[in-house]
Amino acid sequence: MVQKINEIYLGVNAIEFNVKLARSLYLCLNLILSVLYSYITVKFISVYNFPIYIILFITTLIELFILLDTSYFKIITGIKTKYLYYMLIGFSIVMFIFKSNINITYVLIFYFVYYLLITIVLLNYNLFVIEESKSIKDGVTDISIYSNLSKLLGFSLGSYIYKVNIDEYLIVFIIMFVLFSSFKINNFKNETEKNSERLVFNKLKRKYIIVNTALLSGTAVFFIPMFIKQLAARNLIQYSSIVFFIPGLTVVLFLILTKKYEVDLNKILMSYIILDIVFFILVICKVFLPLQVILLSLIVALGVSISIRLRTNFIKINDKEYRKSILQIFRISAPLFTIVLSLIGLYLENIAYYILLINILSAGHVLWVNVRKNKVIL
């Protein structure tokens, strides 16, 4: 009897340790992606004079390919994590050998393969954390915290990105991938993955949640560049990092707070709508810029919190067999909507203001579903 209790206790401890390890690896790999994204963006703009949205377009195409492979083909996404690491190590060695021939083709291949393989590894860790955490909400919250934290750290390293040679990146990457591949967690493959079926989109319940979460994520993407322009006009561009840093820090702190203390979703939704309206008025009236940045930070934090509740609900109510595909749908929905809205912005002036109004309507719709139809979304 005592032996069985000890075995159960050790099993629980092992799961907790693996979840913590998966979170840490998720943070490190996300940090690599953030640094890689910054490096490639600088390369494309300063060396090859490519428009910045090209990077977003390429990234979205990769995410779309992963979604199709996860949902239907299961060729690359069906590979075990440790073998994905071996592929990354092998590819890094090949790129290191040919580092003397760096051109646009080299940079594109470098970014495409790294982003593809690392994203699939991240997807595996994401699924593991959600499956093995105490609750789906805890798992989704943890992933969001670590994702935002890695972006914060990645941006902090941004000023040093362009000074580092690509061969130095490759050496660091090879060492990290060799280390990461040695963990036993990379052999993990849960029952959800083993029994996963091809995604049938029509079978998904409450598909409007996908649209809601995508819309709620676009505010910062359009308003931060506007703030940067205002700083540049006032010769204060040296403070631009603050405009990026404060929203990210606010998100991380708010998520940690809401994980520890349960906050009613309806209260978050009402706060989000009120702050959006106040922010809209302040932006139109061009009121004190630091106050606008603070309000935007709160709006972004509330929006992420709402998205976590919506994603948690969506994962719960849909079949476990589709779980990996669902996680990838949420990864791609936000950048896809951003591209669509950016293209509309080429023809529609002040697109950011319209997005703010759309966000208010989106949050209002979720609140209406929650209150009037009694469909409680956590």
pLDDT in tens, 62-112: 888 888 888 888 788 888 888 999 999 999 999 888 877 777 788 888 888
Q: 323 and 240, same structural domain?
A: yes
Q: Which of 134, 167, 196 is the last residue of a domain?
A: 196
For residue 378, being part of any structural domain is answered with: no
Q: 209 and 104, same structural domain?
A: no
For residue 79, being part of any structural domain is answered with: yes
CB contact set of 203 (below 8 Å; sequence gap of 6+) = 318, 319, 322
* Mean of pLDDT values over 343-349: 76
* Mean of pLDDT values over 161-174: 76
Q: 186 and 48, same structural domain?
A: yes
What is the residue-averaged pLDDT of the chain? Answer: 79
Is residue 186 scored above 80 in pLDDT? no
Q: 238 and 356, same structural domain?
A: yes
Q: With a threshold of 0.85, does the pTM exceed it?
A: no
pLDDT of residue 299: 92
- Ranges 134-148, 255-269, 333-347: which has the least confidence: 333-347
The residue that leads in pLDDT, 343 or 53, is 343
State what percent of residues in the chain have pLDDT above 70: 83
Q: 9 and 107, same structural domain?
A: yes
Q: 191 and 222, same structural domain?
A: no
Q: 121 and 22, same structural domain?
A: yes
What is the domain count for the chain? 2
Q: How far apart are CA 4 and CA 23, in angstroms?
A: 29
Is residue 188 scored above 80 in pLDDT? no
The residue that leads in pLDDT, 101 or 163, is 101
Is residue 60 scored above 80 in pLDDT? yes
pLDDT digits (tens, 9 = 90+) for 214-228: 888 777 777 777 777
- Ranges 13-17, 87-91, 245-249: which has the least confidence: 13-17
For residue 377, being part of any structural domain is answered with: no
The residue that leads in pLDDT, 37 or 128, is 128
Domain that holds residue 350: 203-372
Count Cβ atoms within 10 A of the Cβ of residue 260 and give its class: 0-12 exposed, 13-18 middle, 19 or more buried.
Answer: exposed
Is residue 122 scored above 70 in pLDDT? yes
pLDDT of residue 117: 92
Q: 338 and 234, same structural domain?
A: yes
Q: How would residue 350 be classed by pLDDT, with cut points 50, 70 and 90?
A: confident
Q: 12 and 58, same structural domain?
A: yes
Q: 338 and 295, same structural domain?
A: yes
Sign of CA dihedral 164, 166, 172, 177: positive
Q: 244 and 368, same structural domain?
A: yes
pLDDT of residue 43: 67
Q: How far is CA 32 from the centre of its chain?
A: 13
